[in-house]
Chain A
Amino acid sequence: MNFLFAYKMAIKSIWGNKTRSALTMLGVIIGVMAVIVAVGFAQGSMQTVTNRIEGMGSNLITCMILSTSESKQLTLKDLESLEQSSQYITKISPYILKQSNVKYETNTKSTRIFGTDENYLEMEGMKLESGRFISALDIEKNDKVAVVGATIKNKLYDDEDPVGKYIKINGTKFLVIGCVESVANGMEGTNDDMVMLPISVAQRTLKITNVTMFLAEARDGDVIDIATQKVKDFLFDIYRDNDQYVVITQEAMLSVMGDISGIMMLILGSIATISLVVGGIGIMNIMLVSVSERTREIGIRKAIGAKRRDIMIQFLIESLLLTGIGGIIGIILGLLAIKYIIGNIGLIQPVYSLPWTIAAFSISLTIGITFGLFPAYKAAKLNPIEALRNE
């Protein structure tokens, strides 16, 4: 039969049962929306983290000391010798870390205190918003200076420029010399939520003598493996046990992130697809109701010459239209949700994925056909005499 006419009939039938059609479509709408939002969320959060890692520079080697041994401790001197011992390692930036309370006038906050050197800012890929960073001279002279993150600026200084003001840590006053540009929209617990001190001063203030972490920079990307091995050998010489420390290259971090991202997409994608299938079952349910309601109509059509195929097409087009329209509405709502809801959470920059949108729409159409097939088949094989007898 004529497809155009079948569409006209399907639209008439959908329009004739507005509430029912809308509720049926809702399943598909929510399903498609869930796919788009879930994928946008997963991809967006991964993108944010990946950007951060990549911003750190691809030649970066991050080392963490897990050992709590009193006798075997990594010192600043050790690191100096490492820096000088290899031509493949150009820079090393040690740092120590401790959670502590900071105070300005009546404002207090618990934050992470970093003790580090002049290389840290650049190696982490961060930028200054105002003032200057810690210098080698500050470390040498034990200057009581501090560089603060965006969260501190916001919470302690009410978003005013903190440079030139003081900050109190463990009862000691520090002069704020710089403020770091926000990397995570000033959220709590992120890299915005910290105060950096010269490492020499931090060791004294926080009462830490050893170095717990350091960043090493390889000369270039080609020698990163050699440089990594060099760092590992150096740490093994000190600790004699490779469970006592962790050495991570940026490449390894990215590959781990890639794995996590894949798993996250898979989980979120499957949950969203399940909701699409549930929507599809709703479609089948309504189509079955529609077939039994229209038994007499099917009988009339068959009596005047409709073949099985004609009846099947009619019902299939109806379920296809329901899922198609539902899919389009779902895509629009999904995009709005990404833009206005996830986009406003702040930390994560949501990503709109065209391939997944196409996939979600195709899945919804496939569901329309799959779940419409059984009711349509049921309608097509109705016996015209019995169908005509139906009131």
Chain B
Amino acid sequence: MIDLKNIYKIYKLGENEVFALNDVSLHIDRHEFVSIIGPSGSGKSTLMNILGCLDVPSKGTYTLDGKLVAGKTDDELAEIRNNMIGFVFQGFNLLPKLSAIENVELPLIYKNVPAAERRKLAKEALEKVGLGERINHKPTELSGGQQQRVAIARALVTNPPIILGDEPTGNLDSKVGKEVMDIFKDLHAQGNTIILITHDSDVAAQAKRIVRIQDGKLYEES
């Protein structure tokens, strides 16, 4: 499903070239639960951006669901993100002016789903993450754990093949973090493909497969 072949991401810093990703190859199958672990500056954010189609590699090929992600325009990448990838960020990244359910509806709006169906799908996604109530509250009126549940519901709502978590427990205390991890495990059990990016080995350890990134290179662990 995800196939990275000899990926390079090179940034130019004045005269120097910095290899954020240096000949990275990675294959992830459908229904896998993979952690990508590495310290900050290891290139894991760059890898997440490329996996999430927020960025394109300098060199190498990325095949997603049998299709090449290269030479796509901004709008085509936006469509891939909308259909294929559900993002869960460390800082939740909810829109503060929208209620919980409106935040969850947002990806469906960009998919032109009619209002009534949008409401229904958003409600279902919120129930799936255990947030059937408080759906009309603004993010600021919710706890950190509840906000992250809303964010996970937003990632789920389009039913994307891949859910991409970038330090999803980084802003949460350990008890709430564990609850959020349980949601990811549930989702995996229901057949979703999950990729978590983290620097926390305890979080990483909960995945079925762990990939370590260091200085722009990948090392398989198991």
Chain A residues within 8 Å of B, Cβ to Cβ: 1-2, 4-5, 9, 12-13, 16, 296-297, 299-310, 381, 384-385, 388
Chain B residues within 8 Å of A, Cβ to Cβ: 49, 52, 54-55, 74-75, 78-79, 81-83, 87, 89, 93-95, 97, 106-107, 109-112, 115, 154, 158
Contact, CB under 8 Å: A305 / B97 = no
Contact, CB under 8 Å: A305 / B54 = no
**Chain B residues near A307 (CB-CB < 8 A):** 74-75, 78-79, 110
The 8 closest A-B pairs by CB, nearest first: A305-B82, A305-B110, A307-B75, A304-B107, A307-B78, A300-B93, A306-B110, A305-B81
For residue A300, which residue of chain B has the nearest CB?
B93
Contact, CB under 8 Å: B74 / A300 = no
Contact, CB under 8 Å: B97 / A12 = yes
Chain A interface main SS type: helix
In the bound complex, CA of A16 to CA of B94 (Å): 17
Contact, CB under 8 Å: A302 / B78 = yes
Expressed in whole angstroms, the minimum distance between the Cβ of A302 and any Cβ of chain B is: 6
Expressed in whole angstroms, the minimum distance between the Cβ of B147 and any Cβ of chain A is: 13
**Chain A residues near B158 (CB-CB < 8 A):** 305
Contact, CB under 8 Å: A305 / B78 = yes
Contact, CB under 8 Å: B110 / A310 = yes
Choose one: B54, B78, B93, B94; the contact of A385 (CB below 8 Å): B54
**Chain B residues near A1 (CB-CB < 8 A):** 109-110, 112
Q: Residue among B82, B95, B109 with the most chain A CB within 10 A? A: B109
In the bound complex, CA of A305 to CA of B74 (Å): 10
Contact, CB under 8 Å: B111 / A305 = yes
In the bound complex, CA of A308 to CA of B76 (Å): 10
Expressed in whole angstroms, the minimum distance between the Cβ of B94 and any Cβ of chain A is: 8
In the bound complex, CA of A385 to CA of B94 (Å): 16
For residue A389, which residue of chain B has the nearest CB?
B45
In the bound complex, CA of A297 to CA of B96 (Å): 9
**Chain B residues near A303 (CB-CB < 8 A):** 52, 54, 81, 87, 93
Contact, CB under 8 Å: B54 / A2 = no
In the bound complex, CA of A134 to CA of B154 (Å): 93
Contact, CB under 8 Å: A308 / B107 = no
28 CB-based A-B contacts, threshold 8 Å: A1-B109, A1-B110, A2-B109, A2-B115, A9-B97, A16-B97, A299-B93, A300-B93, A300-B94, A301-B95, A302-B78, A303-B52, A303-B54, A303-B93, A304-B81, A304-B106, A304-B107, A304-B110, A304-B154, A305-B79, A305-B110, A306-B110, A307-B79, A308-B75, A309-B75, A385-B54, A385-B55, A388-B54
For residue B164, which residue of chain A has the nearest CB?
A303
**Chain B residues near A305 (CB-CB < 8 A):** 78-79, 81-83, 107, 110-111, 158
Expressed in whole angstroms, the minimum distance between the Cβ of A385 and any Cβ of chain B is: 5
Choose one: A13, A301, A308; the contact of B106 (CB below 8 Å): A301
In the bound complex, CA of A9 to CA of B110 (Å): 14
**Chain A residues near B54 (CB-CB < 8 A):** 303, 384-385, 388
In the bound complex, CA of A384 to CA of B111 (Å): 18
For residue A302, which residue of chain B has the nearest CB?
B78
**Chain A residues near B94 (CB-CB < 8 A):** 300
**Chain A residues near B93 (CB-CB < 8 A):** 296, 299-300, 303, 388
Contact, CB under 8 Å: A306 / B95 = no
Contact, CB under 8 Å: B109 / A5 = yes
**Chain B residues near A385 (CB-CB < 8 A):** 49, 54-55
In the bound complex, CA of A189 to CA of B106 (Å): 70
In the bound complex, CA of A127 to CA of B52 (Å): 87
Contact, CB under 8 Å: B95 / A297 = yes
Take A2-B109, A385-B55 as given contacts and tell me if A308 and B74 are in contact as well, using a CB distance cutoff of 8 Å. Answer: yes
For residue A382, which residue of chain B has the nearest CB?
B74
Take A2-B109, A310-B110 as given contacts and tell me if A300 and B79 are in contact as well, using a CB distance cutoff of 8 Å. Answer: no
